[in-house]
Structure 1
Amino acid sequence: MNEDELDHDEPCYVISIAARLVGMHAQTLRQYERVGLVEPKRSRGNIRLYSQADVARLRQVQRLINDLGVNLAGVEVILRMNAKMQEMEAEIEGLRRELQRMRDRRLPAPLE
């Protein structure tokens, strides 16, 4: 099974594999978890399990820190604002669909 065949949110990578996928040390992933930048799921044995979504988030954190020079506090703010924007975009899209349904119901039948 390759990375593309996995459910994006399915926890499947232990910390050593997730660290290798993003090119970080496992201790860095633990630090990011401590400060709340990533929240891996836990197995019944309390082992951290990272999903593809977690790996993508770690890559985003890495880009912000390494490429843009953002500190951890800044990364947290950026990620929170990004999540809020996505929520708002989804809400706007829902309102657009609802408005379109309302318009569709009000349209008179076409004249022949």
Structure 2
Amino acid sequence: MIILEYMQAHWVEWLFAVITGLAGLGYRNVSARLKIEQERNTAIAEGVQSLLRESIVENYNKYTDRGYCPIYAKESIKKVYTAYHKLNGNDVATELYHKLLAMPEEPKERED
């Protein structure tokens, strides 16, 4: 009987204790899921960065063999490089990007 009277007198404290416990469990669950999502996002960003780097290198090789880089290709490469750079890419691809932009836009005329 004394326990019931105590619980009736202090029900607000009990309610907050239960709510606090549930909030703590919820926080742990959300925190664990957030960590997993952050790891996934990092892996996806690194994968996309690698694909963009590969595209820059591939375009560099292609247009170096041709000896020129058309204006439409340069515009496309600029977009690829912008995305690559936003993903913190900044290595050999940066140098190749600048070399591509410096290339002539039309083939040299042949002297026959």
Shorter chain as denominator, the TM-score bin is: 0.3 to 0.5
Q: Which protein has the bigger strand share?
A: 1
What's the TM-score, normalizing by structure 1? Answer: 0.36
Q: Which protein has the bigger helix share?
A: 2
Which has the greater radius of gyration?
2
